[in-house]
Amino acid sequence: MSVLVNKDSKIIVQGFTGSEGTFHAEQMIEYGTNIVGGVTPGKGGQEHLGKPVFNTVTEAVEKVGADTTIIFVPPAFAADAIMEAAEAGIKVIITITEGIPVADMVKVANYIKNRDCRLIGPNCPGVITPGQAKVGIMPGFVFKEGNVGIVSKSGTLTYEAADQVVRQGLGITTAIGIGGDPIIGTTTKEAVELLINDPDTKCVVMIGEIGGQLEADAAQWYKASGSKKPVVGFIAGETAPAGRTMGHAGAIVGGSDDTAQAKKQIMRDCGIHVVDSPAEIGLKVKEVMG
């Protein structure tokens, strides 16, 4: 069992023949991910990395049954790429592109809200179900199969958490990098919910950061759900000064509830096992899983 992606996902790459798309598609294929083709307008009918290239996402859906896409399209065109995928009936849209204008993402959010699809990102490392599918830019060798789910705003901390879990003799069901932009498709709460509801995931690691309400919303949902699955939480940005954007566009302390300390307290109050350093994640996971 997994969430979002698995060995049966039929994955296309938008921006397939560009340098980023080519590099990461090669890595994904090498990992064993079921890449069925790619999309580059104007290059339809060609082959790239041994896979067919299509002019449109609709064509990829019709000809190879694509149901998942990963987007490596430049920021100015990425919003259109997301909406094209949604319109074509793609179910999981993973957007790696960084720097998409906020105004474009407002349009995307409105466009996809009544469609049967899930957007991950933008500005995210992607999603990996170890041993089945790597749909992203993460180093696949870090992730081993197991029953711990990971949700993170930070790519680097996703890899760090996975490495620590694996060092404790455990492994990962699915790791979801949700992205650090102000407007993202899937929230922390929605990603945590997917993993809590996955029967094979026995523990969830939730990595957040200063700014916004995503972690508080997830913590409150977890408490209200009555779930007995343990959740281990960490918030990055403890030393960030108020009002300054730190790394991610969404990581900015806007008020007293946005600070790392306030978020950690809310999480503790909701029954989440909070650690103060990313170095403690693996040990805490092992402890709460007994």
Catalytic residue numbers read: 248
Exposed, middle or buried: residue 234 (CB in 10 Å: 0-12, 13-18, 19+)? buried
Distance of alpha carbon 205 from alpha carbon 176, whole angstroms: 10
Q: Where are the alpha helices (DSSP H) in 127-213?
A: 155-167, 188-196
Q: In angstroms, how far is CA 38 from the centroid of its own chain?
A: 20
> 18 a known binding residue?
yes
> 97 a known binding residue?
yes
Distance of alpha carbon 220 from alpha carbon 240, whole angstroms: 24
> 159 a known binding residue?
yes
> 59 a known binding residue?
no
Count CB atoms within 10 A of the CB of residue 249.
18
How would you list the strands of the sheet with 172-177, edge to edge? 133-136, 126-129, 172-177, 145-152, 203-209, 231-236, 273-274
> 47 a known binding residue?
no
Strand partners, 235: 208
Distance of alpha carbon 256 from alpha carbon 141, whole angstroms: 39
> 272 a known binding residue?
no
Strand partners, 119: 93
78 with 183: CB under 8 angstroms?
Answer: no
Buried b (16+ CB within 10 A) or exposed e, 27-46: bbbebebbbbbbbbeeeeee
> 284 a known binding residue?
no
At residue 196, what is the residue type? I
> 96 a known binding residue?
yes
270 with 188: CB under 8 angstroms?
Answer: no
> 17 a known binding residue?
yes
* Residue stretches of the annotated binding site: 17-20, 43, 96-98, 159
* Residue stretches of the annotated binding site for CoA: 17-20, 43, 96-98
* Residue stretches of the annotated binding site for substrate: 159
